[in-house]
Amino acid sequence: MSKPAPNVDVAFEIRPLDAPFGAEIFGLDTATPLDDQTLQSIRRAFEEHHLLVFRDQVLQPDEQVAFTEQFGELELFPEADKTKDAPKIYHVANVSTTGELLGAKHVQSIYQQVNARWHTDSSYRPIPSLGSVMYGVEVLPDDAEGGETEFANMFAAYEGLADGMKHTLEPLYMVHYYEFGRRLYRELPPVSHEEKSLVPPVCHPVVRVHPDRSYRRSLFITTNAGNEIGGMDLGAGQALHRELAEHVSAPAFRVTHRWRRNDLVMWDNRCLLHRAAGYDMDRYRRVFRRTTLAGSGPVLGPFSNAIRDRQPR
Ligand code: OGA
Ligand code: MN
């Protein structure tokens, strides 16, 4: 098959959402390659808004992979959690890959429940994901309750902390590990030795800085991959984690995306948390395809050399 003509000279529009962050992109076909200038504009919009919504996209799996690869390398998924369609495509659904509604008690649906906790994708990796791209294949009907994806802005969450708390958090690290999410539900199979060796526990700074935003600080805690703070007494660390988890849930930091079929949503895992809103998994079908941009380096904290090198000593 010959390559489709690129999106040259398309007049598209970037319209910020009426919300604390995010933008909607109109007039762009994500199934065809972006020309350099358009790609630059979308990159800049991503750096500025962190959440991009493209409506009415008709996108095959390989086209979604190609779209995502324009922004960088994709993550491959070594973890055997049975929700992968292909090494680069996550099947986020309460429906099997052959189209059967699985229901709330099925192990695949229970994996989805881990997504209902505030998180960033693959925070349990030494280099977590930069961003994710998710496509709405089947979504809940308009009158059904739940099923949204909620996003929370961690720049705002950091800035909303008291000065004393900011100071306390500055040198701290959270322990992230894949097994934590699997252990939350006893229906999920135990993590094998092989998986454990592929994704052993890692630590990331609780205050991270954003390389595309002049190293602006944001809060980085997740609730699906751990609740321990490195170097702190276990109980005290968990209490601090609980307090922060409550803080990041404030509605003021949040954008709720109500899915329409054929939405393509791209988000920045370096400064947003996200979670799936619950819904009746026995009744409604919900099917997404997710591709995931690999991170470009370790999570930077305020003490990283990258920051120190910018400042006169
Ligand atoms: C994910 C995820 C959210 C949702 O697939 O990483 O968090 O709303 N999904 O399903
Ligand atoms: Mn996720």
DSSP strands (E only) in the chain? 13-16, 23-26, 51-54, 84-86, 89-93, 131-138, 149-153, 173-176, 202-205, 207-210, 216-219, 228-229, 254-257, 264-268, 272-276, 287-293
Q: How far is the CA of 92 from the centre of ligand 1 (A)?
A: 7
Rounded-to-integer distance, Cα 44 and Cα 76, Å: 25
| CB of 121 sitting under 6 A from ligand 1 | yes
Rounded-to-integer distance, Cα 301 and Cα 313, Å: 18
* Residue ranges in the chain whose pLDDT is less than 50: 1, 312-313
| CB of 290 sitting under 6 A from ligand 1 | yes
String of DSSP letters for 200-214: --EEEESEEEEGGGT
What pLDDT does residue 307 have? 67
What pLDDT does residue 249 have? 97
Q: How far is the CA of 59 from the centre of ligand 2 (A)?
A: 20
CATH number for the domain running over 16-308: 3.60.130.10
* Single pTM value for the model: 0.94
| CB of 276 sitting under 6 A from ligand 1 | yes
What pLDDT does residue 313 have? 43
Rounded-to-integer distance, Cα 56 and Cα 41, Å: 20
Give the H or E element holding residue 158: helix 154-159
Which amino acid is it at 47? E
Give residues with Cβ within 8 angstroms of 40, minimum separation 6.
Answer: none
| CB of 274 sitting under 6 A from ligand 1 | yes
Q: How far is the CA of 169 from the centre of ligand 2 (A)?
A: 24
| CB of 92 sitting under 6 A from ligand 1 | yes
What pLDDT does residue 304 have? 76
DSSP strands (E only) in 154-212? 173-176, 202-205, 207-210
